[in-house]
């Protein structure tokens, strides 16, 4: 009888060893900086991207079709000037969106990952601690003591991210299981993340 109990116990040990080893694979996925995903997500992203490109083509075709006289030209130039002024960061802007507050230690690569995910989720403008991310301000430096430097300013915790875009979509995507917030939390267990939807966010 004793031998049977030993045999059963040993079998159970083998069983649980395999279960534990398999669970390590799932944990590893949450420690990676890039999200693991599947063919369906790949197709969804490509579909959405092609829809966005198509919309841009339609808009440009419409602009070109209406350039028939001087007044149309003036209007098209002014529309373009306004559009690019919204993007290049020289003028103050406002719009709906979300604010994300990070309290705790975080490293530069993860800050760039988070900002990348904001834009990947449809953000149209992003600022960190009041500094807008544009083509002129976009590189983060890590100083020897570990501080994060952006555009000549040292960024200190807590880090406030202002994100202009469709707030519900942004909020949903960022908080998806296995998404950037999950991965941040797994890599920095002491990090506190707060997300707030706002009707108006202003950036200078």
Partner 1 sequence: MKDNFIGILVFLGVATGLLLTWQFNTEVPIEGNFPSDEVEAREELLKKFLDEQSYLQSRIVSLRKQIEDSQAAFEEQTELVNLGLLENLKTGVGLTEVIGEGIEIVLNDSPLALKENFSNDENYRIQASDLRDIVNILNAASAEAISINNQRIIATSPISSVGTTILVNNAHIAAPFSVSAVGDTNLMLERLLNQSLLPVIYTKRRDAAVVFDIFKKARINVPIYNGDLKVNYINLVE
Within 114-153, which residues bind partner 1 (CB under 8 A)? 116-117, 119-120, 122-125, 133-142
Q: Which is nearer to partner 1, 95 or 191 (CB)?
A: 95
108 binds partner 1 (CB under 8 A): yes
77 binds partner 1 (CB under 8 A): yes
45 binds partner 1 (CB under 8 A): yes
38 binds partner 1 (CB under 8 A): yes
54 binds partner 1 (CB under 8 A): yes
34 burial via Cβ count (<10 Å: 0-12, 13-18, 19+):
exposed
- What is the rounded CA–CA span in Å between residue 56 and residue 54? 5
158 binds partner 1 (CB under 8 A): no
76 binds partner 1 (CB under 8 A): yes
Whether the CB-CB separation of 156 and 4 falls below 8 Å is answered with: no
Nearest to 97 by CA among 129, 126, 68: 126
Q: Helices in 2-69 by DSSP H: which ranges?
A: 2-31, 39-65
Of 23, 50, 175, 196, the residue at the interface with partner 1 (CB under 8 A) is 50
CB 185 → partner 1: shortest distance, Å? Answer: 17
Peptide bond into 199 cis (omega under 30): no
Q: Which of residues 168-187 bind partner 1 (CB under 8 A)?
A: none
């Amino acid at each position: 009888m004793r031998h049977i109990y030993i045999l059963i116990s040993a079998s159970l040990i083998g069983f649980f060893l395999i279960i534990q080893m398999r669970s390590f694979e799932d944990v590893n996925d949450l420690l990676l900086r890039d999200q693991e995903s599947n063919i369906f997500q790949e197709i969804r992203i490509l579909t959405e991207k092609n829809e966005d490109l198509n919309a841009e083509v339609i808009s440009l075709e419409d602009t070109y079709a209406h350039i028939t006289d001087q007044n149309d030209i003036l209007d098209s130039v002014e529309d373009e000037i306004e559009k690019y002024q919204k993007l290049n960061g020289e003028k103050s802007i406002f719009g709906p969106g979300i604010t994300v507050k990070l309290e705790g230690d975080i490293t530069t690569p993860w800050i760039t990952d988070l900002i990348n995910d904001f834009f990947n989720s449809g953000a149209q403008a992003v600022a960190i601690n009041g500094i807008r991310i544009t083509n002129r301000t976009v590189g983060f430096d890590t100083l020897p003591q570990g501080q994060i430097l952006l555009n000549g300013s040292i960024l200190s915790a807590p880090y406030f991210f202002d994100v202009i875009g469709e707030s519900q979509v942004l909020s949903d995507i960022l908080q998806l299981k296995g998404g950037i917030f999950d991965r941040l939390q797994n890599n920095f267990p002491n990090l506190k993340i707060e997300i707030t939807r706002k009707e108006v966010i202003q950036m200078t």
